[in-house]
Amino acid sequence: MQKSNGVQPANVLWHQAPVTREHRKDLSGHPSVILWFTGLSGAGKSTLAHAVEEQLFRMGCRTFVFDGDNVRHGLCSDLGFSTEDRAENIRRVGEMAKLFLEAGIITLTALISPFRSDRERVRSLVPQGDFLEIYCRCTLEICEERDVKGLYKRARRGEIKDFTGISSPYEEPDNPELVVDTGNLPLVASVNKVIGSLHDRGIVA
């Protein structure tokens, strides 16, 4: 796969659209934001992100979830799980999340995104305050007990290489906007914690 070196040719120019993010905010009645759920496999990122989306949808918000498994069926289907491919996976989702932010949508991502540098790179793409890192904190022991996909067992047997938490590291966020103890907190309480944080920030009424 040929990857860009990040340098755009001189004849590629950004087109400034007449319909702005502020216009879309006025139409939807709420600002857009990126909610970046990160944590180990089995920590409950997807479950929480989709439950939060359901609640936001019931509140009349425009939302979309980029689920880690789902994006690997299409947008990132050509990528593996090496450090380089993980970085590219996060870069692509980050760029998509940035576009959805401009579209006025509350954008939720549920990806392990194990490396701080990759998460911070996405944060740097958008204005300050538009990227909310939500750490789904759950111990490796609890994640392995859950192991709903059977991935940890396979990783322990050496059948899966570069598996986060086993043969590849997970770097916890240094200063996330929100920590949710998904290892112990019930789902409803976890959803309420996220919605409460959005309310405090003026994103939802």
Condensed to tens digits (0 to 9), the pLDDT of residues 5-55 reads 556 677 887 778 888 889 999 889 999 999 999 999 999 999 999 999 999
Which CATH number fits the domain that encloses residue 185?
Answer: 3.40.50.300
Question: What pTM was computed for the model?
Answer: 0.91
Q: Is residue 155 part of a domain?
A: no
Domain that holds residue 86: 21-140+170-200
Write down the catalytic residue from 32, 41, 46, 113: 113
Cα–Cα nearest to 42, from 181, 152, 179 = 152
Q: At what angle do helices 187-200 and 45-58 cross, to 10 degrees?
A: 60
Q: Is residue 88 part of a domain?
A: yes
Cα separations (Å) of 73 from 68, 79, 100, 126, 150?
A: 9, 10, 19, 26, 19
Condensed to tens digits (0 to 9), the pLDDT of residues 48-95 reads 999 999 999 999 999 999 999 999 999 999 999 999 999 999 999 999
Residue 113 bears catalytic tag: yes
Q: Is residue 162 part of a domain?
A: no
Number of domains in the chain: 1
* Residues 44, 115: Cα–Cα separation, whole Å: 18
